[in-house]
Amino acid sequence: MEINKGCVFCLNDTEPIVLEGKCLVVCDSTPSSEPSGNALGMSVRSGTGRVAFSAVRNTNHEPSEMSNRTMTIYFDQILVNVGSHFDPARSIFVAPRKGVYSFCFHVVKVYNRQTIQVSLVLNGHPVISAFAGDQDVTREAATNAGLVIMERGDKAYLKLERGNLMGGWKYSTFSGFLVFPL
């Protein structure tokens, strides 16, 4: 890593990103020195610390006694589960370390004329919600995304806060990843 004019450069020719007059560079290596001056730096070691998941509903959701009691939205196909921190049986993500995590969801309602509210729940408390409630369409989605700080062991999942688990739900998605550790 070289330091040049207040910006940090990686030996692998990664270009700096300028944010409000400061440089931010993420290196896919161990830096040889700490950032100084106006530089903010972070090292990411290849093959370690990677956390990401993406799950979908591949079939229509048939409400079960469990899903009606918890109102948890379950996903039946895992596309990505790097680090294996998404539990497919419970459709819950468990944070492996403290950090900033990004989540997004897209929950489809089909032929369901009622309003639904879907929330990203963190440790039992809703933190991000989305609504779908147009009475004149046959397909609509509640969609949202955001960043949250999680501690090691914190749990995140999707919950239906309003409406019911009747109807399609096919093609719904839930994804998340570790942006950076704290």
Q: What is the pLDDT of residue 107?
A: 84
Quote the pTM value. 0.68
Instruction: Average the pLDDT over 109-128 and give the result.
Output: 84
Residue 164 in this model has a pLDDT that exceeds 70: no
Instruction: Average the pLDDT over 86-95 and give the result.
Output: 95
Kindly give the pairing relationship between strand 86-87 and strand 92-94. Answer: antiparallel
Q: What is the pLDDT of residue 48?
A: 55
Greatest mean pLDDT range, 67-71, 98-102, 126-130, 170-174? 98-102
Greatest mean pLDDT range, 94-98, 125-129, 171-175? 94-98
167 or 108, higher pLDDT: 108
8 Å CB contact between 101 and 127 = no
The CA distance from 91 to 107, in Å, is 14
Q: What is the pLDDT of residue 83?
A: 96
| Number of continuous H segments (helices) and E segments (strands) in the chain | 1, 15
Q: What is the pLDDT of residue 170?
A: 65
Residue 29 in this model has a pLDDT that exceeds 50: no
Q: pLDDT tens digits, residue range 30-71?
A: 444 445 555 555 444 434 589 999 999 877 665 555 555 678
Q: Which two tokens stand for residue 54?
A: 């993406």
Instruction: Average the pLDDT over 81-90 and give the result.
Output: 96
Residue 166 in this model has a pLDDT that exceeds 70: no
The CA distance from 132 to 143, in Å, is 8
176 or 173, higher pLDDT: 176
Q: What is the pLDDT of residue 114?
A: 74
10 or 85, higher pLDDT: 85
Q: What is the pLDDT of residue 26?
A: 53
